Structure 1
């Protein structure tokens, strides 16, 4: 298994197609100018030592070297072996609301980012527990299967956004139903942490709650947002250009709904927590976790991830060194071979 420690730098690879397009444009522009100057074959005779092949080869080496350098910057790591570890903990599934209402900024920076901050802090305080991640709006979608690798969990969490699901709304029943099937170890104690602004446009969650209770799943609900509510901003290039409107043209006002979240927590013998204070949430959740029986189990995970950036960095230097040694003129001994039986080979 491999990881990219700084995967955000992969966006730099977008430079490559831009450079390729520029090279192609420059090639056609140069050819056009040569034709304007005179007969193309005569022009070539005026510069008999120029090699179009070597010019293209130098560009290819530069592109490959740049790509290798960018990959080196991401610091790729490869897991070298699997190891079996014993752990004592519980299985925790985070159900994150990614509906559009979570973009409301009645709590800084917005409800969704606040929810991510809470989950991150909770994960930071875990030890020996497995985690999973579900995103839900009008439907629920599994993002991360149960794992003991918290760093991967945080990476998947950071990528969660309101465009993940095409069906909008907030269906709490879908989130609970998805979680019931998400837990993969019947012997472990199970906790579902459901984070939302509480708006519920789904069906009655009673049936899903019964399924959860039958599986022994305790549910903690965490609210984000304010009772006063807020508008849902529409942004372009990071700037607010307007606010979401309903079918009648009125600006949508989304308010936090505590009733549904408290009801779900009570029905599962769980707990409701106000997410506006991250520290309070984490402290209270530690109390909840302390009250849940922890079972010992064995799991396999990849250990000893070793960095591999040096190979790509070395390849970068080799390619660029070859590029520096190449000149845009024909090689005398290669020309004399006349492999293609032509007068003006590279």
Structure 2
């Protein structure tokens, strides 16, 4: 903020940038010089004068005689500044506050060796991690958790709104995190449901990313899907892998069945672009209700004008006490 004694406060650009809380005071500004002229006229006509005749050549106009108007000018400026202060110059800054009931989302990501397949370059797992991070970045007010799995599941991150922490977890994922081979789809989904089942949330979602059939674990994927439906958890399943690969073929059957039973949706990601579009589609389908309040933070700027008014008044008072106040009035 500028110092109160800065000329900044009198620049036209500054004055035009203000919102005025009491703008009607500004209409009185043109009346100030009229009132001061009227005051001088009344004072001159009401003062008794001694009529003395001087020869015309002895009457001289001297610039010093005009100095008697200086205190009046300062008093006029004082009045104008007080009126500006009464008009209350302000600036308003709008602030938005977003809040709402978010969605609880569990991500289940397959990290088995087949996810290192490079049919979706640089690899299925790398693309899945990158797109998952983009998905998280687009969420607001949602709690998101992470489960990784191969032969056994591992709850890597509980439901959280700390998206930076979650991103760090995802970036650190590799197929070497779990040494047990296989693909425990049923157990991984069961772990997600266990995280979500006791939560009183408007919407509960699990997103399962895998490239293979259930080959490990003791919980059947169909049973897990039935549990998901019982606890109102929608499951979106994503089969990742190109159809052109000769190894690590993608088995869609199990993932389709899970999505159908849980009233979710099945997607097939054949490349990085399609996987990105799938997450955009899920992002569109699962939107929490976000409410927005707008606040106006108002800051007043009448203080500089009041301070200037005091300065001009003191100058006017001081000049009144000198010869300027009385010159040619005797």
2:208 matched residue in structure 1: 194
- Residue 102 of structure 1 contacts residue 111 of structure 1 at CA under 8 Å; is this kept in 2? yes
1:261 matched residue in structure 2: 255
User: 1:114 aligned to 118, 122, 127, which one?
Assistant: 127
1:217 matched residue in structure 2: 233
Cα distance in 2 between the residues matched to 1:173 and 1:294: 31
TM-score by length of 2: 0.53
**Pair 1:105 & 2:118 matched:** yes
1:86, CA displacement in angstroms? 5.5
Of residues 210-219 and 194-203 in structure 1, the stretch that sits farther from structure 2 once superposed is 194-203
1:118 to 1:157, Cα distance in 2 relative to 1, 3 A: same
1:184, CA displacement in angstroms? 6.8
Local SS of the residue matching 2:182: coil
Deviations 1:64-86 (A, max 9, x none): xxxxxxxxxxxxxxxxxxxxx96
Report the aligned-residue RMSD.
2.1
**Pair 1:287 & 2:295 matched:** no
1:204, CA displacement in angstroms? 2.9
Cα distance in 2 between the residues matched to 1:90 and 1:272: 20
**1:1-346 mapped onto 2 (5 Å cutoff):** 87-183=100-196, 186-188=199-201, 189-202=203-216, 204-230=220-246, 253-275=247-269, 276=271, 277-290=274-287
- Residue 90 of structure 1 contacts residue 294 of structure 1 at CA under 8 Å; is this kept in 2? no
- Residue 111 of structure 1 contacts residue 225 of structure 1 at CA under 8 Å; is this kept in 2? yes
- Residue 114 of structure 1 contacts residue 224 of structure 1 at CA under 8 Å; is this kept in 2? no
Cα distance in 2 between the residues matched to 1:279 and 1:192: 17
Cα distance in 2 between the residues matched to 1:198 and 1:118: 19
Q: Which runs of 5+ in 1 are unaligned?
A: 1-84, 231-252, 297-346
- Residue 212 of structure 2 contacts residue 252 of structure 2 at CA under 8 Å; is this kept in 1? yes
Return the index of the structure with the highest Cα Rg: 2
2:52 matched residue in structure 1: none
1:170 to 1:177, Cα distance in 2 relative to 1, 3 A: same
Local SS of the residue matching 2:159: strand
1:195, CA displacement in angstroms? 0.6
The count of residues paired between Structure 1 and Structure 2 equals 188
Cα distance in 2 between the residues matched to 1:209 and 1:262: 11
Local SS of the residue matching 1:220: strand
- Residue 170 of structure 1 contacts residue 199 of structure 1 at CA under 8 Å; is this kept in 2? yes
TM-score by length of 1: 0.51
Deviations 1:110-168 (A, max 9, x none): 11101112211211211111100000111110000110011111000011111111211
Q: Which runs of 5+ in 2 are unaligned?
A: 1-97, 292-330
- Residue 223 of structure 1 contacts residue 256 of structure 1 at CA under 8 Å; is this kept in 2? yes
1:270 to 1:184, Cα distance in 2 relative to 1, 3 A: closer
- Residue 90 of structure 1 contacts residue 295 of structure 1 at CA under 8 Å; is this kept in 2? no
Deviations 1:74-107 (A, max 9, x none): xxxxxxxxxxx96421100000001011011111
Cα distance in 1 between the residues matched to 2:100 and 2:215: 39
